[in-house]
Chain A
Amino acid sequence: MPILELQNLKKYFSNQKAVDDISFNIEKGSIFGLLGPNGAGKTTLIRMITGIFYPDEGQIIFDGKKFNPVNDVVHIGYMPEERGLYKKMKIGEQAMYLAQLKGVKKDEAFKKIKDWFIRFEMESWWNKKVEDLSKGMSQKLQFVTTVLHEPKLIILDEPFSGLDPVNTNLIKDEIYKMAKRGATIIFSTHRMEQVEEICDHIILINKGKKILDGTVKQVKQDFKENLFSVGLEQQQTNFNGMAPFEVVGSLNENMVVRIKENHKPNDVLQFLLQQGSHIHSFNEILPSLNEIFIKLVEGTPLSRQFQNN
């Protein structure tokens, strides 16, 4: 059952169609990538899911019922791209406050915060103020306050920006753990290698419209160009016209070939074997999400211009 269903969601601002008829479902327990160039409408979309904005049209179904911001926000954790905490407030008190705002009881919040602080090696921070923390430290604190109330849906906007590799892994592991326990994670980022690594399912939006929707595997399959890298013992570049492929370049001393239409990878191997070549590697080259992203979004200016309608 999907945790979140968006049905024909629209949000128009006076000078811009920020979200223009977007529908998709997110399955429970999945890690979902919400991708799009700057100004595509991601933030507006997320703000509607978190109850900050009301959609002009369309419906949000949360956990099987119509989304009711007042009650359902306690099941959502949101870490916006615009990071912020009360600078003058002590860290422990701040975490307590934010947890209680999400409906966690006082003593329960205290126990959970202690727990997280120990896990993230932050126990000694309790009485420090946020203004005394480094950027990475406050990022960790922000993550803790986002997930402390064990939300069913966690929305993370660029969660790794400003983190060193050690802390990145720390948080990545927590994300996996939470997904395993049944939480759903929406992950919004521009870092495509992270999306490839973490996400099960992605959608890509551009100019307020959804332009891509599928699992990472499926999307890569859909955009593959039948490219293979072939490693031969002896470099060879000239093949006769009978070859079921054409050489399009080389990669790490391997040659890159494109299989001609109506041919299978086996045909390539067969042909090469008949040629007497010694093959030591044969790999399919799938397009990276980065390439797909650029390909789909290219041609639109980086930041969306205001439309005159």
Chain B
Amino acid sequence: MNKIWLVIKREYLTRVRNKTFLLSTILLPIVIILFILGSVFFAAKSIDSKKKIAIDDRSGFLSKHLRPDTNRIQVFFNTGVDTNTYAQKGFDGFMFPVDSAGRHFLLRTPKAASRETMERLQNSLNNAYVSNFLLEKNISVRELDSINKISASYFEVTNIDDKNKSVSGTVNSSIGFLSGILIYITMFIFGAMVMRGVMEEKTNRIAEVIVSSVKPFQLMMGKILGIGAVGLTQLLLWFVLLFVISSAASAFLPADVMQQVQQIQSNPSMMNANAAQYSGLAKGIASFSSLNWTIILASFIFYFIGGFLFYSSLFAAVGSVVNEDPQEAQSLMLPIMMPIIFGFIIMSSNLETPDSPVMVWASIIPFTSPIVMMSRIPSGPPFWELALSMVSLVIGFILTTWFAGKVYRTGILLYGKKAGWKEIFKWLRKA
């Protein structure tokens, strides 16, 4: 036990003190933050510029009913510009009718207008028509205003569960997807890290010295646990850094940009969303906070560690049979990577039906359970399924570490030639 601890300590310290570890730990959150900031900045920029559009309104209908200044579009009627001169007069576009009924317009712009602009323009035109239609039916302007107000938010449906708590399938599946994808990515990154780590003894030709002091199984477990601890540290540092940098960045952003971002956040109707969506978001936030976070966090940690142990020992077995050349590992890694990818596909294609038979089975079989079960947790799977899944994952990683230990014993002292799966199973029977 003491020796495993020594191995863990060395694996952990040599990696954490490495410059590349520091670099990747610090750089990744910075890149992510810069990316987010950049896109927010440009989004805010694009809000700034209101499109000025000149309209040739021969019938006079639009000038009567179309509000001249709406959401980011400003319209000007009968300005006397034409298709050749609109740009010179400072307009972004020129719109004119092409049929006699005045229902089909052409919008002339220097370049294709954005989808948003086109949608807004069409909506405004159609709203103007509806308003006019209602006014003609002797509905007063005041009534019309109140109709517009209530139409979007008169009725409201809230989904509650048997415990009288408000729930949201959308929130559940997005939290589930997020944790599933996090486990998926970390399993790949840290699995590959373990594989390279195991090859270290071979490339440095020190395997024989080490296994004459430590049992191969102790060495392997020490390496897996040490590298796992490095991964956990990195994950934690990323979270902390993301939090620190994002709160620091918000303090340094120009005030007007922040204001606009806040406007977008607090008033989704600005983003072409209606009031229904707004209340949906509110409901989402309510069910977000009603989720059982203790269970979600606890099972995330369990499935993260369980999945890591299950797969990293398989990656360790592969690492022990290949030589210095990482290319050799590719063909041996494929059978290990397949179930991980498979689990991810099952999860993402069945997100909306967390209790379907495929999901239930995939969340119990340990090859896919870390990813799939994690995506089901927010929607509260039956207790027995969760228990069965956890027990089978524990049994699963005991089996894979046992298997890897056998392969590792033989593989680590093997130089010069790469073993295939057939040979590996032969060792399994012998060792």
Are the C-beta atoms of B6 and A52 separated by less than 8 Å? no
When distances are taken between beta carbons in the complex, the residues of chain A under 8 Å from B206 are: 84-86
Are the C-beta atoms of B212 and A52 separated by less than 8 Å? yes
Of all chain B residues, the one with the shortest Cβ separation from A70 is: B215
Are the C-beta atoms of A51 and B10 separated by less than 8 Å? no
Are the C-beta atoms of B213 and A84 separated by less than 8 Å? no
Are the C-beta atoms of A84 and B205 separated by less than 8 Å? yes
Are the C-beta atoms of A80 and B204 separated by less than 8 Å? no
Of all chain B residues, the one with the shortest Cβ separation from A83 is: B205
Are the C-beta atoms of B204 and A78 separated by less than 8 Å? no
Are the C-beta atoms of A88 and B213 separated by less than 8 Å? no
Q: Is B144 an interface residue (CB 8 A)?
A: no
Question: Which of A94-102, A113-121, A266-274 faces chain B?
Answer: A94-102
When distances are taken between beta carbons in the complex, the residues of chain B under 8 Å from A14 are: 426, 430
When distances are taken between beta carbons in the complex, the residues of chain B under 8 Å from A83 are: 205
Are the C-beta atoms of B415 and A82 separated by less than 8 Å? yes
Are the C-beta atoms of B211 and A98 separated by less than 8 Å? no
Q: Is A89 an interface residue (CB 8 A)?
A: yes
Are the C-beta atoms of A78 and B215 separated by less than 8 Å? no
A-B contact count (CB 8 A): 55
When distances are taken between beta carbons in the complex, the residues of chain A under 8 Å from B14 are: 86, 88-89
Q: Is A50 an interface residue (CB 8 A)?
A: yes
Q: Is B3 an interface residue (CB 8 A)?
A: yes
Q: Is A180 an interface residue (CB 8 A)?
A: no
Tell me the complex Cα distance, A234–B14, Å.
74
Nearest-neighbour CB distance to chain A for B236, whole angstroms, equals 25
When distances are taken between beta carbons in the complex, the residues of chain B under 8 Å from A78 are: 208-209, 212
Are the C-beta atoms of A73 and B213 separated by less than 8 Å? yes
Of all chain A residues, the one with the shortest Cβ separation from B431 is: A54
Of all chain A residues, the one with the shortest Cβ separation from B200 is: A86
Tell me the complex Cα distance, A84–B200, Å.
11
Q: Is A230 an interface residue (CB 8 A)?
A: no
Q: How many residues of B contact A (CB 8 A)?
A: 22
Tell me the complex Cα distance, A51–B215, Å.
9
Q: Is B242 an interface residue (CB 8 A)?
A: no
Q: Identify which of residues 222-274 in chain B touch chain A, using a CB-to-CB cut-off of 8 Å.
A: none
Nearest-neighbour CB distance to chain A for B232, whole angstroms, equals 22
Q: Is B210 an interface residue (CB 8 A)?
A: yes
Nearest-neighbour CB distance to chain B for A42, whole angstroms, equals 13
Q: Is B413 an interface residue (CB 8 A)?
A: yes
Are the C-beta atoms of B205 and A82 separated by less than 8 Å? yes
Tell me the complex Cα distance, A14–B165, Å.
66
The interface bits of chain A over 272-296 (1 if a CB of B lies within 8 angstroms of the residue's CB, else 0) are: 0000000000000000000000000
When distances are taken between beta carbons in the complex, the residues of chain B under 8 Å from A97 are: 6, 10
The interface bits of chain B over 210-221 (1 if a CB of A lies within 8 angstroms of the residue's CB, else 0) are: 111111000000
Q: Is A76 an interface residue (CB 8 A)?
A: yes
Tell me the complex Cα distance, A241–B7, Å.
76
Are the C-beta atoms of A86 and B211 separated by less than 8 Å? no
The interface bits of chain A over 44-56 (1 if a CB of B lies within 8 angstroms of the residue's CB, else 0) are: 0001001110000
When distances are taken between beta carbons in the complex, the residues of chain A under 8 Å from B3 are: 101
When distances are taken between beta carbons in the complex, the residues of chain A under 8 Å from B209 are: 78-80, 84, 98, 145
Q: Is B305 an interface residue (CB 8 A)?
A: no
Q: Given the interface contacts A82-B415, A86-B200, does A101 sit within 8 Å of B208 by beta carbon?
A: no
When distances are taken between beta carbons in the complex, the residues of chain A under 8 Å from B205 are: 82-84
When distances are taken between beta carbons in the complex, the residues of chain A under 8 Å from B204 are: 84-87
What is the interface of chain B, defined by CB distance below 8 A to chain A? 3, 6-7, 10, 14, 200, 204-215, 413, 415, 426, 430
20 A-B pairs with C-beta separation under 8 A: A14-B430, A50-B212, A52-B413, A70-B215, A73-B213, A76-B212, A78-B209, A79-B209, A82-B208, A84-B204, A84-B207, A84-B208, A86-B14, A88-B14, A97-B6, A98-B209, A101-B3, A101-B214, A102-B213, A145-B209
